[in-house]
């Protein structure tokens, strides 16, 4: 993950389709950043901008974030588990604080990216990277054309440009090394079409242990990043005995 | 599409409906099932169908009534309070013997409740809900793949028996993502000689639910219930897991069966003789299979996200032969550890009693 962090600016805007793995990536990114940040005297803040989907959101991991010394930016407790289009306070200030690394976890699809519209001016004026997480095993991003449509839709609504793709090819507990490689190939083809770099290939930590050599060879210069699942419960992540 | 993809429960229901040949959907948005509507609004026009967002759930269910009477393969979806609004129309559709599929992605209740996962609409759909003597087939899938398979099955059952079928999900099942395959099936177009499709070449077809003469109403109810007996005979479905030697039996459906299954595996690792029984049809309730699964049980735990509703059917099936206790949580899907603790505590009691 360190290589991914190095390729990103101070403010990281994480977008993607519904269920692409944005929030899990944002959490993993924040946790990795926090380990480095302590040494540098930086503050890491993770803002949940998901105004679309009221489940499996970053805000459910607040306790974990605080334990890791990360500042969660989420709505107040009374409306934390609501389906209201609101996000936490203080984002505007954090965008301009040079000692804060801010991650914005945006809601899914172009609908979710709408939340960025009101912030786009200020984000443009800060050192930022906008990434799109892509899982080519999700229905609307399963081919190069679909990924392109998603990217253009998100950019239009967010009024910001995507700088890089994060490749997250997986089938949950049914993921195989072949599925990762086949999916990653699609993401790379889409990135070439969009003239964007792929700055990381995400693989569940327990799978990466099994297939590390093959995947690292396949990924070439793209860093292969181990991911831990924080939002989906463990008993949904298991193959049935 | 026969390769694996990752889908959310709500998306899966929508795609499965299209695979099953459903071309008409009427609904009104409500969290946590709005993705079903959104996806069908996008997809139905692509396959020559129509999506209408009604002005309320009352309108939506009556549009379903009308479309089914006119011979369409039709579905609606909502969540608990919205399903309550639909009850009058559901009674009419059942009485008029029309095929229709109704999806309930249950949320916290009573009242406006909350948007949490819930299983508290069991009584409403399994025991009635609307007025009068009727039954609904109620299916309780427990994974995203089963949401797909049961949606297709629901259309088949609805047409075979000319009766509305309810599919139960909950807020978590609607939103969780799992690998699935959408089966590549070619459903036949609806074959409904009774439908109101225009009188060309035949006399009028009339779909109605009014029976003013007393004997006509009695005959109508008797005929409906003869059909329900046939459904009870043919369609009880369930899944048992490690029930053969089980001294403790956990009964759970839907998402709770996933939790219960993980808890049973944890307790089995401790050497506890525990199994799980999962009703797949909630009506007709699989009472015979439950009796067989519980034959060695010394205690039965009914696990539900409600204050205890399915437990009544478990007790009806098992009588006084074995104590049936409730494990329940409200407003969340518990962790397997909690059911595991309940199993451990019952195992100690069973051992203490020799």
Shared-domain flag, residues B81 and B165: yes
Using a CB-CB distance cutoff of 8 angstroms, which residues of chain B are in contact with residue A108?
none
B179 with A142: Cβ contact below 8 A: no
**Pick from A138, A173, A235: CB nearest B262:** A235
A222-236 burial, b if ≥16 CB within 10 A, otherwise e? bbbbbbebbbbbebb
CB B144 within 8 A of CB B6: no
| Beta-carbon contacts below 8 Å between A and B | 63
ipTM of the complex: 0.91
Interface test with B, best of A57, A234, A236, A237 (most B CBs within 10 A): A236
Residues B216 and B247 in one domain: no
Residue B33 domain flag: yes
Contacting residues of B for A60, CB less than 8 Å apart: none
> Would the CB atoms of A83 and B259 count as touching at under 8 Å?
no
Q: Which of B179, B265, B336 to mutate to test the interface with A (most CBs of A within 10 A)?
A: B179
* Residue A240 confidence (pLDDT): 57
| pLDDT at res. B2 | 67
Of B264, B342, B276, B327, the C-alpha closest to A235 is B264
Provide the token pair at B216: 């006509």
What's the rounded mean pLDDT across residues B21-45? 96
The three-state secondary structure class of A212 is helix
CA distances from A67 to A61, A70, A88, A162, B8 (A): 10, 7, 19, 31, 30
Average pLDDT over residues B45-63: 97
Q: Do B221 and B157 fall into the same domain? A: yes
Domains of chain A are: 2-234 (3.40.50.300)
Same domain, B285 and B140: no
Whether residue B298 lies inside any domain: the answer is yes
Counting the structural domains of chain B, the total is 2
Q: What is the pLDDT of residues B172-217, one digit of tens each?
A: 999 999 999 999 999 988 889 999 999 999 999 999 999 999 999 9
What percent of chain B is modeled with pLDDT above 70? 99
For residue B178, give the CATH number of its domain: 3.40.50.970
Chain B residues at the A interface, defined by Cβ less than 8 Å, are 4-8, 11, 15, 31-32, 35, 114-116, 171-172, 175-179, 258-259, 261-262, 265, 333, 335-336
CB contact under 8 A, B32 and A54: yes
Q: Of B302, B198, B288, which is closest to residue B249 (Cα–Cα)? A: B302
Q: Which of B45, B21, B13, B14 is nearest to B155 (CA)?
A: B21
Other CB atoms within 10 A of residue B134 CB: 21
Centroid of chain to Cα B341? 28
Q: For B230-280, write each residue's pLDDT tens digit.
A: 999 999 999 999 999 999 999 999 999 999 999 999 999 999 999 999 999
Residues B196, B141: contact at Cβ < 8 Å?
A: no
Task: Confirm whether B137 is domain-assigned.
Answer: yes
What pLDDT tens digit does each residue of chain A (241 aa) get? Answer: 989 999 999 999 999 999 999 999 999 999 999 988 888 888 999 999 887 777 788 878 888 999 999 999 988 877 777 777 778 888 888 998 989 999 999 988 888 888 898 899 999 999 999 999 999 999 999 999 999 999 999 999 999 999 999 999 999 999 999 999 999 999 999 999 999 999 999 999 999 999 999 999 988 899 999 999 999 999 998 875 4
Provide mean pLDDT across the span B309-329.
Answer: 97
Cβ distance of A138 and B265 shorter than 8 Å: no
Domain co-membership, B228 together with B273: no
A57, closest residue in chain B (CA to CA): B175
CA distance A74 to A62: 8
* B344 shares a domain with B296: yes
By C-alpha distance, the chain B residue nearest A79 is B114
Give φ, ψ of B153 to 5 degrees: -60, -40
- Contacts for B55 with CB less than 8 Å, ≥ 6 apart: B28
Task: Examine the domain organization and report whether B289 and B326 are in the same domain.
Answer: yes
A235 → closest Cβ in B7, B178, B259: B259
Classify residue B46: in a domain, yes or no.
yes
B252 with B340, same domain? yes
How many residues are present in chain B? Answer: 354
Residues B153 and B247 in one domain: no
- From B183, B213, B235, give the residue that closes a domain: B235
Across the interface, do B6 and A170 touch by the CB < 8 Å criterion?
A: yes
Identity of the residue in A54, A173, A174 whose CB atom sits nearest the CB atom of B115: A54
Q: Which domain holds residue B80?
A: 5-191+205-235
Q: Does A176 touch chain B (CB under 8 A)?
A: no
CB-based contact A171 B15, cutoff 8 Å: no
B187 and B314 assigned to the same domain: no
Altogether, the residues listed in chain A come to a count of 241
| Per-residue pLDDT tens over the stretch B56-84 | 999 999 999 999 999 999 999 999 999 99
B159 and B242 both lie in a single domain:
no
Please check whether residue B268 lies inside any domain of the structure: yes
What's the gap in Å between the CA of A10 and the closest CA on chain B? Answer: 31
Euclidean distance between CA atoms B261 and A238, whole angstroms: 11
- Contact (Cβ atoms closer than 8 angstroms) between residue B264 and residue B337: no
Q: In B207-229, which positions are buried (b, 16+ CB within 10 angstroms) versus exposed (e)?
A: beeeeeeeeeeeeeeeebeeebe
Question: Are A235 and B336 an interchain contact pair (Cβ–Cβ within 8 Å)?
Answer: yes
- B108 assigned to some structural domain: yes
Same domain, B231 and B260: no
Cis peptide preceding B32, ω within 30 of 0: yes
- Please check whether residue B197 lies inside any domain of the structure: no
- Chain A CB contacts of B177 under 8 Å are 19, 172, 232
């Amino acid at each position: 993950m360190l290589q991914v962090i190095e390729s990103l600016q101070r403010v990281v805007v994480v977008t993607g389709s519904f269920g692409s793995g944005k929030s899990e990536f944002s959490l993993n990114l924040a946790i990795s950043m926090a380990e480095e940040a302590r040494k540098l005297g930086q503050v890491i803040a993770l803002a949940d901008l998901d105004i679309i989907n009221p489940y499996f959101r970053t805000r459910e991991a607040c306790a974990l974030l605080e334990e890791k010394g990360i500042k969660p930016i989420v709505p107040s407790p009374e409306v934390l588990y609501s389906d209201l289009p609101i996000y936490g306070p203080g984002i505007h200030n954090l965008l301009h604080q040079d000692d804060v690394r801010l991650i914005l976890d945006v809601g899914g699809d172009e609908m979710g990216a709408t939340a960025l519209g009101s912030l786009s001016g200020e984000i443009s004026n800060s050192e930022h990277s906008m990434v799109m997480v892509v899982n080519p095993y999700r229905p609307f991003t399963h081919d190069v054309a679909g990924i392109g449509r998603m990217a253009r839709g998100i950019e239009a609504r967010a009024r910001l440009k995507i700088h890089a793709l994060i490749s997250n090819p997986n089938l949950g507990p049914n993921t195989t090394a072949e599925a990762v490689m086949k999916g990653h190939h699609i993401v790379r083809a889409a990135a070439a079409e969009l003239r964007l770099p792929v700055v990381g290939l995400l693989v569940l930590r327990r799978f990466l242990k099994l297939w590390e050599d093959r995947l690292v060879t396949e990924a070439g210069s793209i860093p292969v990043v181990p991911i831990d699942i924080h939002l989906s419960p463990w008993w949904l992540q298991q193959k049935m005995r | 599409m026969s390769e694996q993809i990752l889908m959310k429960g709500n998306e899966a229901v929508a795609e499965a409906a299209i695979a099953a040949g459903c071309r008409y959907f009427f609904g009104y948005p409500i969290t946590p099932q709005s993705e079903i509507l959104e996806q069908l609004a996008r997809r139905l026009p692509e396959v020559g169908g129509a999506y209408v967002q009604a002005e309320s759930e009352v309108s939506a269910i009556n549009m379903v009534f009308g479309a089914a009477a006119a011979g369409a393969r039709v579905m609606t979806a909502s969540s608990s309070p919205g399903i309550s609004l639909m009850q009058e129309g559901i009674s009419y559709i059942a009485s008029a013997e029309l095929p229709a599929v109704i999806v309930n992605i249950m949320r916290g209740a009573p009242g406006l409740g909350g948007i949490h996962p819930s299983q508290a609409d069991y009584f409403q759909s399994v025991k009635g809900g609307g007025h009068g003597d009727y039954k609904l087939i109620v299916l309780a899938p427990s994974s995203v793949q089963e949401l797909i398979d049961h949606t297709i099955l629901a259309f088949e059952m609805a047409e075979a028996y000319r009766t509305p079928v309810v599919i139960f999900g909950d807020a978590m099942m609607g939103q969780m993502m799992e690998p699935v395959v959408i089966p590549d099936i070619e459903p036949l177009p609806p074959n409904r000689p009774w439908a109101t499709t225009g009188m060309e070449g035949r006399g009028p077809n009339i779909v109605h639910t009014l029976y003013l003469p007393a004997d006509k109403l009695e005959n109508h109810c008797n005929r409906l219930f003869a059909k329900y007996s046939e459904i009870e005979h043919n369609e009880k479905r369930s899944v048992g897991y490690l029930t053969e030697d089980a001294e403790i039996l956990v009964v759970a459906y839907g998402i709770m069966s996933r939790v219960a299954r993980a808890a049973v595996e944890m307790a089995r690792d401790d050497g506890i003789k525990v199994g799980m029984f999962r009703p797949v049809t909630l009506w007709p309730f699989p009472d015979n299979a439950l009796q067989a699964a519980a034959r060695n049980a010394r205690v039965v735990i009914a696990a539900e996200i409600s204050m205890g509703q399915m437990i009544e059917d478990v007790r009806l099936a098992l009588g006084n032969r074995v104590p049936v206790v409730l494990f329940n949580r409200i407003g969340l899907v518990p962790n397997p550890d909690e059911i595991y603790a309940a199993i451990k505590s019952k195992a100690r009691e069973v051992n203490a009693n020799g």
